Structure 1
Amino acid sequence: MILVTGAAGYIGSHTCVSLVQAGYDIVAIDNFANSKPESLRRVAELTGKSFPVHAVDMLDAEALDQVFGAYDVRAVIHFAGLKAVGESVAQPLRYYRNNLGSTLNLLESMERHDVKKIVFSSSATVYGAANEMPLKEDMAVAPVNPYGQTKAMIEQMLRDVASAVDGFGAALLRYFNPVGAHPSGRIGEDPQGVPNNLVPYVAQVAVGKRPEVVVFGDDYPTPDGTGIRDYIHVMDLADGHVRALDWVLDHAGTEAFNLGTGRGSSVLEVIRAFERASGRTIPYRVGPRRPGDAPVSYADPSKAERVLGWKATQDLDAMCRDTWRWQSQNPNGYDPA
């Protein structure tokens, strides 16, 4: 059994589909703070396979340990955590308590039940305000907000456990900017409230839920003046987790892997791609820069290709087409209209 924490979330739910399709048996846990049980019901519908789902808050060590006691867990894929950068700056203690406390409970349960393999959902935010591009795994880890700090601290926790525990293996997956949705349109990103990320915001403008996109700055030193990011299709990302799991089951120690495409797209390029995908005009206006936003950020994903045999295959147009299919079929996300 593979235990998937935060399984009902955006990346977790898509990875559950890929895991089941790859032949893995899974058990899913989530506290549904920022997600809906409906996403996992649809995962079962898409894969044609049912799997156990437990509503567990990982800060409840006893409840978490009961899950380990009930199943023969071979490995863990750890998605669970709070993930909004701005919110983490406003509520740092909440982020440290939740993200670090839940992971400590997880690692202690793993130790008690002799589970030595984990794939961790890290983030490119661990690189902080690095100016050198592309970002490589051996660059300094220097996050600039509490969310990124929790990811960096958990990476260090896993390195320390791997040094202390014989046979312990951890893959640290540093994602860039996940977008898109399952091609069926049945599962996708369902942000609560105002989306923090560009693509779901653009999608809500396209579907008529929001009046316009605000472009934060058009005076960056980039070809069109807007910020450039490395967007990756969520199904490519899900496949990366399956490859990382395959790898970690046969390896000890810790390795970090960038999961990105290796090329960046500007804000205006994303808006134009979404216009092509939706056949609609996306109104936007230019606002001031956001403090802390880097002009350019993109991955060097060559290590993941070399070690895991993984490479992103889907382009920005595919990401926008699949996002639009999900958004137009589910204008209210997983909530019924």
Structure 2
Amino acid sequence: MRKFKIPNMGALTAFEAAARHESFTHAAKELFLTESAVSRQIATLESNLGVRLFVRAKQRVVLTRAGRLYGTQVRRTLEALDRDTLSIIAHGSSGGYLELAVLPAFASQWLIPRMKDFNDRTPDVRVNMGVRTSIFSFEESHFDAAIHYGKPTWPGTSCDYLFGEEVVPICARSLLARPVTKARDLLDYPLLHSTTRPNAWATWFAHHGVQDNSTMHGVRYELHTMLIAGAASGLGVALVPKFFVDGQLEQLGIMIPIQASAPVDSAYYLVYPTELSHGKPLELFRSWLLGQAQAYDAATRRSQATQREPDWGKLR
């Protein structure tokens, strides 16, 4: 049994709004209350907590250090409660919502273009997506599942293999002074690196027999979309998953200067807490996603078997 009384929702809501605005007046307008009502709620909250949350200075209020910290924590809690409430309302219907953590480029370039098929097949289930680029605690988040790139080593979860990837160098046609015939030729140009895969270029070059400290030189971008934009702008050569640019080379204004693949020991996985594996929305999405991944993987393998060198005549 709790040994203390949790503040009521009205007091927390009033405090969160006042903390966000640092103004009782603006909080009152947002909540359709009087300023004195907001002031009373916060005064009661401070009394119950035994902590001063605001400093009153003439016609304005300023958060104390404790107030600023508590404001952030309360805001997160109220946002989580909103999400949980919407989720349970959805579960009251015949379908439901799946909260999925995604990698931004994977979602925009591969997953979202395929989602209409899922929506058409499963009209009672909808998938909400939020970005997470590293491993997180499912217990401390609202997500039901995640798309993960790396190894299947996420504690407390089950992992389904989706597919591996082939990374390719890309650049603007205008960047190249002459045809690229071997991997080492790319060291004549600036290299654009991924902050989430800092050793990608070094690994790619090493596979092609190039050991050189300059493979680690160059600017770094956090997202693959930034790498693609940088390459298209003529800033250098980027190394990206091939499926991010498949069928879009002309549209993006980029080319693959050399068809030289390298094995990658990481892959994409669908990850979810083991105890949630039998939830209906996740079960339906998982079945559909694995089918899409298998079809894509098979098509990729066929394509790799018929790769052709770029048409260097177009560079002139």
Please report the TM-score for the alignment, with normalisation by the length of structure 1. 0.23
Please report the TM-score for the alignment, with normalisation by the length of structure 2. 0.25
**Structure of larger gyration radius:** 2
